[in-house]
A and B are shown apart, each in its own frame.
Chain A
Amino acid sequence: QVQLVESGGGVVQPGRSLRLSCAASGFSLTSRSVHWVRQAPGKVLEWVALFFFDGTSQYYADSVKGRFTVSRDTSGNTLFLQMNSLRADDTAVYFCARDQGDAFGHSFDLWGQGTPVTVSS
C-alpha cells in the first residue's frame, strides 16, 4: 500500500527538541521529493521544508530556518524532521507530503495522517 506515516509528535517544553519521522511504503523516497507542512489548531496550512529526492538540497521556511533540519535514513525510506529550539508557535499538526514532480506542478499527491506537536511549559 502506498502511504506515508508520520510519528514522533508529542508535548515538549519550549526550547527543547523533537524529531519527527515520515515512513514511506509502496514507493521509495529516493524517487520523490517530500515536504513537511504544518497546521496550527484552527489555522491554515503552512509549508515548512522540502527534501529533494536525490538528497542534494533542502529548503526551509524562514520561520524554521536554523532550527529545523530535514534528513533521510540510509535505506531511503524514512524522512526525519529534527526540530530544535522549539517555540509555542511551532505547535501544530505536522504532515509529510509527496511531491508529484515538475510535470505535475510540484503538487502534493500523497499526505500522511499527521503527527501533533504541542510546545508548552
Chain B
Amino acid sequence: DIQVTQSPSFLSASVGDRVTITCRASQNIMNYLNWYQQRPGKVPNLLIYSASGLQSGVSSRFSGSGSGTDFTLTISSLQPEDFATYYCQQAYRTPYTFGQGTRLEIK
C-alpha cells in the first residue's frame, strides 16, 4: 500500500498568517494527491484536487503544489473559518490512503 505522511500533526497560527502543510507519499503518485478540510463535527470538504487544482467554490487563499512524492498545501492568509483539520489523500492506487491529518488551531 502507498503510505502518505503528513506534517506537521499540529499547527498553531494567527489570523492573517501564511501556513504550509506538507504531505509525502511512499512512492511516486504523479499528481494524484488531494486535500480536504474537516471542521469539527462536519463532513470533509474537498479543497484541492490533482495536487494543484482549486475545487470549484473554494477560496483562492488555498493553493497546492507538488508532484511525484512531495506535496504542499498553502493557506495564504488565515481566516477564522480556516481553523480545522486538513487531510491529504493519495488517489493513485487503491487503497486511497489518507494522511494522519494536520490540526490547525488559533494561536
Q: Which of B10-18, B73-81, B87-95 contacts A (4 or more CB under 8 A)?
A: B87-95
Closest to B55 in A: A109
Task: Report the bound CA distance from A95 to B46 in whole Å.
Answer: 14
On whether the beta carbons of A105 and B95 are closer than 8 Å, the reply is: no
Q: Interface SS of chain B: helix, strand, loop or mixed?
A: loop
Q: Which residues of chain B are near A113, meaning CB under 8 Å?
A: 43
CB pair A62–B33 under 8 Å, yes or no, is no
Interface flags for A32-70 (1: CB within 8 Å of B; 0: not) read 000101000000111100100000000101100000000
Q: Given A104-B53, A105-B32: A44 and B100 within 8 A (CB)?
A: yes
- Interface size range on A against B: 20 to 34
Q: Is A114 an interface residue (CB 8 A)?
A: yes
Q: Does A71 contact B (CB under 8 A)?
A: no
Q: Which residue of A lies closest to B47 (CB)?
A: A107
When the two chains form their complex, are residues A114 and B46 in contact, meaning their CB atoms are under 8 A apart? Answer: no
Interface check A16, CB cutoff 8 A: no
Interface residues of A (CB under 8 A from B): 35, 37, 44-47, 50, 59, 61-62, 95, 97, 100, 104-109, 111-114
Which of B's residues lie within 8 Å of A, judged by CB?
1, 31-34, 36, 38, 43-46, 49-51, 53, 55, 87, 89, 91, 94-101
